[in-house]
Amino acid sequence: MNSNVLQEETAKLIQVQDVEGIPEVIDYGILVFKHRYFLATQTLGPSFSQIMKINGQLSLKNVLLIGIQLIKLLQKLHDKKFILSNIIPCNFCFGAELEDKLIYLKDLTFLQSKECNIKLLQFPFKECNFISPVLNIHKGPSQIDDLYSLAYLLIYLINGTLPWQQIDQLISEKQFQELQKYKLKVTFDQQFLDQQSSVFGEWFKYISTLKQSQHPNYNYLKNILISKIYENGWKLNDQIEYKNEQAIHSSKSIVSIKSRSRGTSITKTPNQRMIETLSPILEVDKEFELAQSAQKQNEELFIFQKFQNVRKLIEDQQQTENNLSFTSIGQNECEMWKKLEKLENLSRPIYLMNKFEKI
């Protein structure tokens, strides 16, 4: 992923950190030893795409529970003046932990402000199956487009496919417009709606009445799903159930990178907070271990230098003490010789006197 794109995604993530269903940002910045930008977030579980490969399709109860969460997520993003504009199975993930019942938005690359009139499609375009049938590619996506896309996502989770899913990619605007007409025809075809839960008939009927600038009634859409849950004797706090054979690998050496004045330091993270990297670094554990090793080497070098300084200080102190000691001894010896010389001078006459007396 391009560093500029990654930095833009980081900025978006930070703006929506208080939204339930947005991955927690652990840290971001520049890896000094690699001079590369990184973004580290909490580890996420399997995506809808991975779950569908294993399960084929999900039960109505599971899809209704998922739908309620995603409506809440969309509402909060829309309230913050953002349009998601890329509602596809691989962009949504379950939590990594079994007790984590949240559904997370994985990729915020296409998240854009309502005020930004960005042309969404660049042909050839692959992700065309979940695009709203009323999207104006020259004006950019709207809240209503997100709601159409969400409905298509939920239908896909129930059926495992969409009627137009045989189209792999769009190569021109003309082909795009033809697909849009086909989607509209199928979406409001009574035979198609009869094959689905009555939920989606009401859903499409409501959003078709909305104008592009009109604020949707999210509670109405949630209540459509909630009433269907109660109608079937299910509960809102029921667990979303699915088969997941994907092993979520994690290294015991998982670390978080903490930036300090654009530098890096490496610290262990709690077990429940693991890291997923959304940066160009593919082997995150190895990169982090290298950073940790470099940090350790720096720390060891610092300790060694400190030890050397202390040892030199001790040696200098000992040398000073020895010098003082030698000076003191030298002074004492000098004083002693002076005294001996003085004593000898004093005793010389006495010695001579004794010598003469004997003679």
Q: What is the CATH number for 43? A: 1.10.510.10
Going by their DSSP bridges, the two strands 255-260 and 103-105 should be labelled as: unpaired
| Mean pLDDT over the full length of the chain | 77
Structure tokens at 94: 């379950």
Percent of the chain with pLDDT over 90: 39
pLDDT in tens, 21-61: 999 999 888 887 667 888 899 999 999 999 999 999 999 99
SS (H, E, C) 35-76: CEEEEEEECEEEEHHHHHHHHCCCCHHHHHHHHHHHHHHHHH
Domain contains 350: no
Domain contains 21: yes
Using CA atoms, how far apart are residues 220 and 203, in angstroms rounded to an integer?
9
Domain contains 343: no
Structure tokens at 11: 């900025």
| Chain CA centroid to CA 132, Å | 29
CB atoms within 10 A of CB 85: 20
pTM of the predicted protein model: 0.68
Residue-level pLDDT at 313? 75
Whether the per-residue pLDDT at 259 is higher than 90: the answer is: no
CB 53 within 8 A of CB 244: no
Residues 6+ away with beta carbon under 8 Å from 243: 51, 54, 55
CB 25 within 8 A of CB 39: yes
Domain contains 34: yes
Owning domain of residue 183: 3-250
Residue-level pLDDT at 266? 33
Domain contains 104: yes
Using a 10 angstrom Cβ sphere, with 0-12 exposed, 13-18 middle and 19 or more buried, the burial of residue 144 is buried
Q: Label residues 304-342 b or e (16+ Cβ within 10 Å = b).
A: eeeeeeeeeeeeeeeeeeeeeeeeeeeeeeeeeeeeeee
Whether the per-residue pLDDT at 348 is higher than 90: the answer is: no
Residue-level pLDDT at 56? 92
pLDDT in tens, 92-144: 999 988 778 899 999 888 888 877 655 555 656 667 889 999 988 888 889 99
Mean local confidence (pLDDT), 300-317: 70
Domain contains 263: no
Domain contains 341: no
Backbone angles phi, psi at 115, to 5 degrees: -75, -15
Residue-level pLDDT at 322? 64
Give the DSSP per-residue string, 239-281: PP-----------TT-EEEEEETTEEEEEE--TT--EEE-SS-
> How many domains, in total, are found in the chain?
1
pLDDT in tens, 12-31: 999 999 999 999 999 888 88
pLDDT in tens, 195-238: 777 789 999 999 999 987 889 999 999 999 999 999 999 999 99
| 18 to 21, 25, 65, 160, 321: CA distances (angstroms) | 9, 11, 21, 32, 65
Q: Is-cis flag, bond preceding 124, omega within 30?
A: yes
Q: How confident is the model at residue 325 (pLDDT cuts 50, 70, 90)?
A: low
Residue-level pLDDT at 175? 85
Whether the per-residue pLDDT at 342 is higher than 70: the answer is: no
Helix, strand, coil percent content, the chain, rounded in steps of 5: 50, 15, 35
The DSSP code for 131 is S
Domain contains 25: yes
